[in-house]
Amino acid sequence: MIPVQGFAGQKVAVLGLGRSGLATARALVAGGAEPLLWDDSAEARGKAEAEGFTCTDLLRHGAMDGVACLITSPGIPHLYPSPNKVIARAMALGIPVDNDIGLFFRSFATEVWGDFDTAPRVVCVTGSNGKSTTTALIHHILQVAGRPTQMAGNIGRGVLDIDPPQDGEVIVLELSSYQTDLARALTPDVAVFTNLSPDHLDRHNGMGGYFAAKRRLFAEGGPDRAVIGMDEPEGQYLANQMGEGPADDRVIRISSGSKLEGFGWSVFARKGFLSEWRKGKQMASLDLRTVAGLPGAHNHQNACAAYAACRALGVAPKLIEQAFHAFAGLPHRSQLVGERGGVRFINDSKATNVDAAAKALQAFPKIRWIAGGMGKDGGIAALGPHLGSVVKAYLIGHSARDFALQLGTVPAEICETMAQAVAQAAAEAEPGEVVLLAPAAASFDQYPNFEKRGEDFTARVKALLG
């Protein structure tokens, strides 16, 4: 646990009692603060009370008297589409609003660090797609390299729930736009921006607000090294703002598909090969085509980001290459579930938006595509240019019929359920083809989250494979 500093003897309100909220409450107590907890869910309050915490309705008259700060969970809106009533009340009273990420950065360093030979460092990863894979890959590389490391944030443990860092340890955090948007302290040593595509637009009032939330990690944080994906205009803009010119190697530009040879430091992948260039010279080259855990151009972008971050931490290219080959990938992200008769079954349930699904569809040559769920604005119309590898689509969930109308000449079958889609796709698949779950939609019509959807796909495939 990271005890929260700066609030000893003071009241701190905590709104939202999920994983991060309860971890925050424990860390506040460890730092000598008095937490006042609330969640609209009676079940969540019950879990907190079972740990010995007292819950207080923060909208009750006088409940916020003497409160030094309000800490809110990331899923609770603080501005758009409209502020939560408790947050609006705190702002009206002038009470600072923060989140666990802000508390982490203000509390991470301690006097104990004076005895360390090497100060602990923090790597933060943000972006639209690939955050989790990139975060896990950086963590994995550091483990292979023998570096002490912990992983937390939007993946794994809550940031305040990790162990106090050791001498020379590297903490790797995945941060969503919800987390970067509100944190009052952001001071990573290395910050990574993977890419940007439309998502969470209601929460950020459009693409401008969404990008602004991501940009805060760099503009507010001032990292020693910024690893920035250059495959969208927003990444090019961010790299331009962070650097003093093309030769400034504090910015490491990355790309999947474009040569980046004219910069102080760059890492890019083309035709399956990763190249590192520095000051006009190629420093290393890795063959990604044989890396089973990182298939497709989108994963090659993740590989470039992780490679660049670990090179910024001083890890040798040979060790990174070794770690790549030992990386099994994450569940629900281009995950190989099994193979039968030359047909592979891939679980990419995390492809909940059009951009992520497009990347999955470009990763394999012949696809039996399982898609559908709770479709987002525009459905799958934007996937038109990426459907050339689809042999047939098997559509499930609420938006199945809407998706079918947007597929043009691609053969499609309305299957409704995962069970029917898996059975039909498997029965029709031929050697050399891939049965791919890449829904391009949210899961909430049939499943509580994308993980449960992916688990259902995986279970049905494994039952079919015996």
What confidence score (pLDDT) does residue 198 get?
82
Phi, psi of 207 (to 5 degrees): -65, -35
126 and 37, same structural domain? no
190 and 266, same structural domain? yes
Identity of the residue numbered 114: G
Average the pLDDT over 349-369 and give the result: 93
Peptide bond into 74 cis (omega under 30): no
Domain of residue 378, residue span: 335-465
238 and 196, same structural domain? yes
107 and 86, same structural domain? no
Would you say residue 200 has pLDDT above 90? no
Number of compact structural domains in the chain = 3
In-domain check, residue 366: yes
Q: How confident is the model at residue 436 (pLDDT cuts 50, 70, 90)?
A: very high
H/E stretch holding 97 reads strand 97-98
Percent with pLDDT over 70 in the chain: 100
Would you say residue 151 has pLDDT above 90? yes
Kindly report, residue by residue over 223-235, the tens digit of the pLDDT: 999 999 999 999 9
Site of tokens 């989108």: 298
Peptide bond into 120 cis (omega under 30): no
What confidence score (pLDDT) does residue 297 get?
86
| Average pLDDT value over all residues in the chain | 95
Write out the two tokens for 211.
Answer: 């990008």
* Gap between the terminal Cα atoms of the chain: 43
Q: How confident is the model at residue 221 (pLDDT cuts 50, 70, 90)?
A: confident
196 and 311, same structural domain? yes
What confidence score (pLDDT) does residue 328 get?
83
132 marked as binding residue = yes
Site of tokens 């520095």: 278
In-domain check, residue 301: yes
353 and 375, same structural domain? yes
Ranges 16-20, 186-190, 359-363, most confident: 186-190
What confidence score (pLDDT) does residue 13 get?
98
Last residue of a domain, one of 49, 73, 98: 98
What confidence score (pLDDT) does residue 298 get?
87
In-domain check, residue 452: yes
Write out the two tokens for 152.
Answer: 């937390």
Kindly report, residue by residue over 379-408, the tens digit of the pLDDT: 999 999 999 999 999 999 999 999 999 999
Kindly report, residue by residue over 14-38, the tens digit of the pLDDT: 999 998 999 999 999 999 999 999 9
401 and 279, same structural domain? no
250 and 138, same structural domain? yes
128 and 91, same structural domain? no
Q: Are 248 and 266 contacting, i.e. CB atoms less than 8 angstroms apart?
A: no
Write out the two tokens for 47.
Answer: 């879990």
What confidence score (pLDDT) does residue 179 get?
96
Write out the two tokens for 398.
Answer: 């609420």
In-domain check, residue 392: yes
In-domain check, residue 113: yes
Identity of the residue numbered 277: W
User: Residue 111 and residue 308: Cα distance in Å, rounded?
Assistant: 31
228 and 352, same structural domain? no
Question: What is the helix, strand, coil percentage profile of the chain, to 5?
Answer: 35, 25, 40
In-domain check, residue 276: yes
275 marked as binding residue = no
3-state SS, residue 34: strand
Continuous H helices in 227-383? 233-242, 296-312, 317-325, 354-361
3-state SS, residue 150: strand
Average the pLDDT over 102-116 and give the result: 96
In-domain check, residue 6: no
Q: Are 87 and 96 contacting, i.e. CB atoms less than 8 angstroms apart?
A: no
Burial class (CB in 10 A: 0-12, 13-18, 19+), 184: middle
Kindly report, residue by residue over 261-291, the tens digit of the pLDDT: 899 999 999 999 999 999 999 999 999 999 9
127 marked as binding residue = yes
Would you say residue 434 has pLDDT above 90? yes
402 and 266, same structural domain? no
Average the pLDDT over 137-162 and give the result: 95
What confidence score (pLDDT) does residue 296 get?
84
130 marked as binding residue = yes
In-domain check, residue 5: no
pTM over 0.95: no
What confidence score (pLDDT) does residue 293 get?
87
Burial class (CB in 10 A: 0-12, 13-18, 19+), 77: middle
Percent with pLDDT over 90 in the chain: 90
Would you say residue 322 has pLDDT above 90? yes
Average the pLDDT over 167-172 and give the result: 98
The conformational region for residue 58 under phi > 0 = left, psi -120 to 50 = alpha, else beta, is alpha
Last residue of a domain, one of 98, 123, 149: 98
Last residue of a domain, one of 273, 293, 325: 325
CA–CA–CA angle 414, 417, 422 (5° rounding):
85
User: Residue 108 and residue 391: Cα distance in Å, rounded?
Assistant: 51
294 and 340, same structural domain? no
